[in-house]
Amino acid sequence: MSDKPVRVLHIVSIMDRGGIETFLMNIYRKIDRSKVQFDFLVTREQSGIFDEEIILLGGKIYNIPYIKKIGLLKYIKNIKFFFQKHYEYKIVHCHMDTWAGLFLSVAKVCNISVRISHSHSTKIGQRPDNINGYIEFIFKGLMKLFIKTSGTHFFACGYDAGVWLYGKNLSDRKLIIIKNGVDTDEIRYNKEIAEKVRRDLAIDENTMVMGHVGSMGIPKNHEFLIDVFDAVHKHRPDSILCLVGDGKLRAHIEEYVQLRGLNHKVRFLGIRGDVYNLLKAFDVFVMPSLYEGFPVAAVEAQAAALPCILSDRITDEVDMGMGLVKFVSLDKSPEYWSDAILQERSVARTMAIDNLIELGYDSHVTANWLENFYINLIE
């Protein structure tokens, strides 16, 4: 093996602070970068929040124009040109869900020997209701077939996410589950930090804080989350809701909050670099998602010993067996959700996270496994 590190090309949409990107950075910070180095092919021309840190850690970032800007044929041409120009990459690790079929097919044509697809979701988009929707549905179905014929390794954050992208037959035979590890040392509950965060946010120690972490898009179901908080607030007028994250629906969500008369009770905290500490300051974590793959934010919340109320659309694989998770049906009313939330507030915050570590959801463990995996592929 060369003295130079194995360079792995990760294909992502943009390195902003989302679930996939946070997972990658958790791993990247902990791998031995003298042995394995991460580079990133980004399918946007914009800069991402993590770009500066990636450069400092020794990684490279390459940008290609967004497909909607240049069209499919030119998009494929750009991908092929990139792989031909950067023939030094022997491993590509794609995090683009169904679009992995396109990237890995081109990588195969360009003789890249290791082509990894990584599923991070269980459902993308809504049921087609017009001609464009049906075209997209058919296209994504074809992309799934291309993954099977062009991929060499098939990763997923959980079994359900694997079945969604690869099908049950392939998943039962070849699926490799990569656990979305978190930094258990940093996220472990600390009362002093929790109190400081509350002071910084001007939140009284007796105020009930309902928290959510996630991008502001359709899957996270923010309108229903606001309805649930409205029901909670009627029982606990001293409660507030903290929303961590940003996205294309933020303006709509802000309008909805104002419409419900809750603008003084809902805090929009935006994209934050201190999510671990914010979780320590919350009293309950609520995620009424319409669909998820394996939400790392829910694992982080459990690592912070935070009670979690999750929708029944989220895989039960996310329950770390710490007695902190309750799944509630989205068919239930906001008032029903409110009752579940108010019942959970009394859970003690001093419990250990040994269960989570033993199950392998520590980012040190995941980083070590991936490091060895990449190296063994090249040797």
| Pair (308, 213) in one structural domain | yes
Rounded CA gap, 328 and 16, in Å? 30
| Pair (70, 99) in one structural domain | yes
Reported as a single tens digit per residue, the pLDDT across 263-273 is 999 999 999 98
Reported as a single tens digit per residue, the pLDDT across 301-320 is 999 999 999 999 998 889 99
CATH no. for residue 295? Answer: 3.40.50.2000
Under 8 Å between Cβ of 44 and 14: yes
**Strand order across the beta sheet in which 6-12 lies:** 61-63, 36-42, 6-12, 91-94, 114-119, 153-156, 175-177
Q: Where are the beta strands (DSSP E) in the chain?
A: 6-12, 36-42, 61-63, 91-94, 114-119, 153-156, 175-177, 209-213, 240-244, 266-270, 284-287, 308-311, 325-328
| Pair (117, 147) in one structural domain | yes
Under 8 Å between Cβ of 50 and 324: no
Residue 48 lies in a domain: yes
Residue 1 lies in a domain: no
| pLDDT at 124 (0 to 100) | 53
Reported as a single tens digit per residue, the pLDDT across 196-219 is 999 999 999 999 999 999 999 999
**pLDDT for 360 beyond 90:** no
Token pair for 109:
């044509």
Rounded CA gap, 226 and 308, in Å? 16
Residue 219 lies in a domain: yes
| pLDDT at 121 (0 to 100) | 82
Rounded CA gap, 241 and 345, in Å? 14
> Could you tell me the residue range of the domain that residue 21 belongs to?
6-181+362-378
Rounded CA gap, 353 and 315, in Å? 20
Coil, helix or strand for 37?
Answer: strand
Residue 214 lies in a domain: yes
Residue 77 lies in a domain: yes
| pLDDT at 3 (0 to 100) | 78
Q: pLDDT higher for 191 or 292?
A: 191
| Pair (140, 56) in one structural domain | yes
Reported as a single tens digit per residue, the pLDDT across 101-156 is 999 999 999 999 999 999 998 765 555 567 766 777 788 889 999 999 999 999 99
| pLDDT at 128 (0 to 100) | 59
Domains of the chain: total: 2
| Pair (31, 174) in one structural domain | yes
Counting residues of the chain whose pLDDT is more than 70, the rounded percentage is 95
| pLDDT at 185 (0 to 100) | 84
Residue 20 lies in a domain: yes
Coil, helix or strand for 376?
Answer: helix
| pLDDT at 40 (0 to 100) | 98
Mean pLDDT of the chain: 92
